Amino acid sequence: MNELNERIDAVVISGTFTHEDAQDLPFLLECARRYIAVEHRKRERASNRSVEQYAKVRTEHKARLVTKVNAIVAEAAKYLHAEWSRELLGSTFSLGDGTRVAWADATAEQHADRAQMLEGMAAGDLQTASIHRRAIQDLTACKVSTLGDLDVLAAAA
């Protein structure tokens, strides 16, 4: 049995087999099964690495965007003329933990919490928009209609 396994492994690794091997259908089926299993594991590992790399890039990208958004908002706040009307002071906003607070009663810390939450969402929206723009570039460059078509092209390569 060990010799058979070694023969099968040799065929799977090399991708070649003898005329005698070609006549043995169960042998060929086992070679094909193992080859498919090996290729599946390779692609799964490659896919996992790709997802990990994408997540790292996405996290770094979002951190840079949050920094930029924070700077833009801080600069805009310097020149903003806000009117603290009864209507505004009577309205409420949500904090990160879901608590609602009236504008009239909110502390500086609560305003900071809300501003940070909104800046993070704005950066997330910018990041998502930039990913969509990149998708458009890739679709146009590859002359395909959908990102799924890119996957088909990659599999064929």
Each residue of 39-86: pLDDT tens digit? 767 777 766 666 666 666 677 877 888 788 878 877 887 877 778 899
- Secondary structure of residue 90 in the 3-state scheme: helix
DSSP codes joined into one string, 12-72: HHH----HHHHH-HHHHHHHHHHHHHHHHHHHHHHHHHHHHHHHHHHHHHHHHHHHHHHHH
pLDDT at residue 154 in the model = 62
Burial of 53 (0-12, 13-18, 19+ CB in 10 A): exposed
Mean local confidence (pLDDT), 145-152? 81
As a residue count, the chain comes to 157
Q: Which of 124, 97, 95, 89 is nearest to 112 (CA)?
A: 95
Instruction: Read off the pLDDT of residues 74-132 as tens digits, 9 standing for 90 and up.
Output: 788 787 777 889 999 999 999 989 999 999 999 999 999 999 888 888 888 888 888 88
Which residues lie across from 102 on neighbouring strands?
A: 92
Instruction: Give the tokens for residue 85.
Output: 């009307």
What pTM did the predictor assign? 0.51
